[in-house]
Amino acid sequence: MRPIVIGVLLISTGLAGCAAPGAYDWGGYDQMLYQSYKDPSKSEAMRVGIETHIAALESRGGLVAPGLYAELGTLYLERGETDRAIDLYAKERDAWPESKYLMDAMIVSLERRRTSLPEAAQ
Amino acid sequence: MKRLLMLIAVFSLVGCATPKEPMDFTAFEAAAPRSILVVPTVNNSLDVDAPNYLLATLPMPLAEKGYYVFPVNTVKVVLEMEGFYEGEQVHQQPAAVLAQQFGADTVLFVTIDRWDAQYALISTTVTVSFQYRMVARDGTEIWSATETMAYTPANSSSGNPLVDLIAAAISAAVTRAAPNYLPLTRQANQQVFILGHSAIPDGPYKEMGVNR
Q: What is the pTM of this model?
A: 0.83
pLDDT score, position A18:
37
Burial class (CB in 10 A: 0-12, 13-18, 19+), B69: buried
d(Cα A37, Cα B56) in Å, to the nearest integer? 9
Q: Residue B155 in contact with residue B171, Cβ under 8 Å?
A: yes
Query: Which of B51, B29, B28, B48 has its CA nearest to residue B39?
Result: B51
Structure confidence at residue A68 (pLDDT): 98
> Coil, helix or strand for A96?
coil
Q: Count the Cβ atoms, other than its own, within 10 Å of residue B99.
A: 23
Please tell me the predicted confidence (pLDDT) of residue B5.
53
C-alpha radius of gyration, chain B, whole number: 21
Residue among B53, B63, B73 minimizing CB distance to A74: B73
Q: A72: which residues sit within 8 A by CB, 6+ positions away?
A: A47, A50, A51, A54, A88
Pair B128, B188: CB distance under 8 Å: yes
Residue B106 CB neighbour total at 10 angstroms: 24
**Chain B residue with minimum CA distance to A89:** B74
A27: nearest CA in chain B?
Answer: B60
Please determine, for residue B6, whether its predicted confidence score (pLDDT) is greater than 60.
no
Give yes or no for a contact between B36 and B108, defined as CB atoms under 8 angstroms apart. Answer: yes
d(CA B60, CA B185): 12
**Residue ranges in B72-205 assigned as alpha helix (H):** 72-81, 87-91, 95-102, 161-177, 182-190
Q: Average pLDDT of chain A?
A: 84
Q: Does residue A12 register a pLDDT over 60? A: no
Q: Do A37 and B103 touch (CB under 8 A)?
A: no
Provide mean pLDDT across the span A48-70: 97
Contact check, Cβ <8 Å, A22/B71: no
Measured distance CA(B198)–CA(B149) in Å, rounded = 16
Of A30, A38, A71, the CB nearest to B49: A38
For residue A16, what pLDDT is reported? Answer: 36
Which residue spans within B137-170 are E strands per DSSP? 141-151
Helix spans in chain A (H)? 2-18, 29-38, 43-59, 68-78, 82-95, 100-116
Q: What is the pLDDT of residue B207?
A: 73
- Contact at CB, A38 and B212, closer than 8 angstroms: no
Q: Best of A18, A26, A29, A30 to disrupt the B interface by mutation (most B CBs within 10 Å)?
A: A30
A66 contacts in B (CB within 8 Å)? 59, 63, 67-69, 71, 205
Q: For residues B100 and B137, what is the distance between their CA atoms, to the nearest angstrom?
A: 7
CA distance A29 to B57: 9
**pLDDT for res B40:** 98
Asked if A63 reaches chain B (Cβ–Cβ under 8 Å), the answer is yes
Reduced to 3 states (helix: H, G, I; strand: E, B; else coil), residue B211 is coil
Does A61 reach chain B within 8 Å, measured CB to CB?
A: no
C-beta atoms surrounding B79 within 10 Å: 21
pLDDT for residue B109 is more than 90: yes
CA terminus-to-terminus distance, chain B: 65
Pick the residue with more confidence: B174 or B65? Answer: B65
- Give the model's confidence band at B138: pLDDT under 50 very low, under 70 low, under 90 confident, else very high: very high
